[in-house]
Amino acid sequence: MTVSREFLAGLPKAELHVHHVGSASPRIVAELAARHPESPVPVDSAALAEYFTFTDFAKFIEVYLTVVDLITTPDDVRLLTYEVAREMAAQNIRYSELTVTPYTSVQRGIAPEAFCEAIEDARTAAEKELGVTLRWIFDIPGEVGIPGAIETARIATEIRPDGLVGFGLGGPEIGVPRPQFAPYFDAAREAGLHSVPHAGETTGPETIWDAIRVLKAERIGHGTSAMQDPALVDYLAQHRIPLEVSPTSNLATRAVASYEEHPLPAMVEAGLVVTINSDDPPMFGTDLTSEYVVAAELLDLDEAGAAELARTAVRVSFAEDTVKESLLAEIDAYTAAKA
């Protein structure tokens, strides 16, 4: 019998693949939309739920960008970031590497220095007031191409807020080849940042190979198609390159047809390192606890298995050792108290 939702809700967790704007709940989006009545984004909660209904990945990107359009001032950035942390705290998420796309906000008129100051102010307050430790992964919006890469790399290496730990690549994969971004990932890695591109969500294994060989990926965002290539599976297992798996996201974007067809069990059976994540939780009608419920059902986990899944996310995170040790001890204490 799989673990209970109650246990998973209380389990101290880390999340490694979750987007800044994509974490804006209907409550947060409504507050931002009320500030910007010219936006097509509805304020009413029922209308918002209908608005956040996707037919495919392209529709998701379209909706996502209209929410980005609501974030036009540093105060909007600060509000979004702190309120996302508040909702993480309610799920017992203790540590999160939030994927942030500064380019889209900078293009909408926010100075990059002010953007970084706003997220840092929210990060500091969230740790002090909410008990949530936030770190940043700045990602290139793939749909923008090289201009987005140039500016994202500049902000990451020249401004570089204190919480920045990684450099990523998001957005559509189809028609957005990974090798063109190699110089910008090289610059980020030379500056001491970790490489964490999305790959293999809506494209095949070759995109994952490009992420590994060309972008020197240390973790793979999604990696859903990895199981199609036995040589890739062997490589991922041998080199212990973690996959950031988001089951409900994969269904919402039609990357997989159903939970029953999700490759997560095959990944674990093959010895791959996997972490469970929510990606863009309110937009997909989920949260991290719900994703753990899905994973526990797919993998037939008991409490010990679920706790080990949570530990894996901590271990493969880019958190400082002291943060890892503290959170691992918290997971151990929680499971011991529930035993």
Task: Summarize pLDDT for 252-277 with one digit per residue, the tens.
Answer: 888 999 999 999 999 999 999 999 99
Residues noted as catalytic: 201
18: β partners: 98, 279
Dihedral (CA of 173, 174, 179, 183) sign: negative
Q: For the chain, which ranges sit under pLDDT 70?
A: 1, 54-55, 57
Strands (E), 142-186: 164-170
In the chain, the N- to C-terminal Cα span, in Å, equals 16
Give the total number of structural domains in the chain. 1
Count of beta carbons in the 10 Å neighbourhood of residue 3? 23
* C-alpha distance from residue 162 to each of 57, 119, 126, 135, 191 (Å): 33, 10, 14, 9, 13
List the structure tokens of 280.
Answer: 């863009």
The pLDDT value given to residue 57:
67
Domain CATH number, residue 169: 3.20.20.140
- With both helix axes pointing from N to C terminus, report the angle between 230-239 and 205-213 in degrees, rounded to the nearest 10: 40
For residue 97, the enclosing domain spans: 5-338
pLDDT digits (tens, 9 = 90+) for 66-81: 888 899 999 999 999 9
0.85 surpassed by pTM:
yes
The whole-angstrom separation of Cα 23 and Cα 77 is: 12
- Whether the Cβ atoms of residue 166 and residue 194 lie closer than 8 Å to each other: yes
Long-range contacts of 248-252 (CB under 8 A, 24+ apart): 248/278, 248/279, 248/284, 248/285, 248/286, 248/290, 248/291, 248/294, 249/222, 249/278, 249/279, 249/280, 249/284, 249/286, 250/201, 250/222, 250/224, 252/54, 252/60, 252/283, 252/284, 252/285
Helices first, then strands: H and E counts in the chain: 16, 9
